[in-house]
Amino acid sequence: MQPISPADCAALIRGSRSIAALTGAGISTAAGIPDFRGPKGLYVTRRYDPEKTFEVRWFRRKPRWFYQFSNDFVAAVKDIQPTFSHRFLAELERAGQLAGIITQNIDMLHQRAGSRNVIELHGSYGSATCMGCGKVFTGLDYAFWQQAMTDSSDAPVVHCSCCDAVLKPDIVFFGEMVNQFDRAEQLVQHCDLLLVLGSSLQVAPASQLPYSCRAPIVVVNRGQVALPPGEERYFVDADLDGYFAQCRERLGMG
């Protein structure tokens, strides 16, 4: 594995004008959001059954499983603030160097940090669709969901205000296609630097995106990453916020 120092990473960033970032759960763990696949994650603790919670067929049959998880998730994350790394990416976008972010996360922290061009492969709680009439609700936030789940006569399951059918947050469930993958692939194909932050690259199809990249790739993640070494592929096993704080210092930002 070829490492890269913060100084050398800063040099790559300084020389780039169309950076793409691919982010996973690791960028949000410092904010207090647990990694589902980490030591205390959903798939290890089994507090919720992953199949019944996130499988779209189960949602159609019994949405209560997902909404019980959502009730706890929203309560836990509604006041969480973006990390240094989230804000650093937003800074690069404002500086005209970052072309866009592709995220596997559903937490909306990139938008809270100020990023505008965010492709949410797995969706988020920012919008929802009625399973009955098909009405789409946009501009939603955690306050909306918390109130709606509390006020529902079928709490915590939220129903459409038009037809009383179940409202489904626009999160990609198992059995559904991810969002805007073609757009994400184009972003990676045309970037001049790809930053992979907090992702082990174990979940398809996001894990395939680095293979479309023709530019240098810098992967910063705690633990192993499912991407083989290659020319201009750099791997850093370090704390994201600490690493990019050093990069930012060397870039002379702020």
Q: Which residues are annotated as a binding site for Zn(2+)?
A: 130, 133, 160, 163
Task: Find the helix packing angle between 240-251 and 84-94, rounded to 10°.
Answer: 30
CB 69 within 8 A of CB 149: no
Residues 22 and 194: beta-carbon distance below 8 Å = yes
**Binding site feature residues:** 130, 133, 160, 163
Q: Which residues pair with 171 in a beta bridge?
A: 123
Q: Which of 163, 179, 165 is nearest to 63 (CA)?
A: 165
Name residue 95's amino acid.
A
The b/e string for 18-41 (b: 16+ C-beta within 10 A; e otherwise) is ebbbbbbbbbbbbbebbbbebeee
Helix spans in the chain (H) = 6-14, 42-45, 50-54, 56-61, 64-77, 84-94, 109-113, 142-151, 181-189, 240-251
Catalytic residue among 110, 122, 159, 190: 122
Active site residue 122: yes
Sign of CA dihedral 105, 108, 112, 114: positive
CA 245 to chain centre: 20
Contact 16, 192 (CB under 8 A): yes
Check: CB of residue 190 under 8 Å from CB of residue 166. no
Catalytically annotated residues: 122
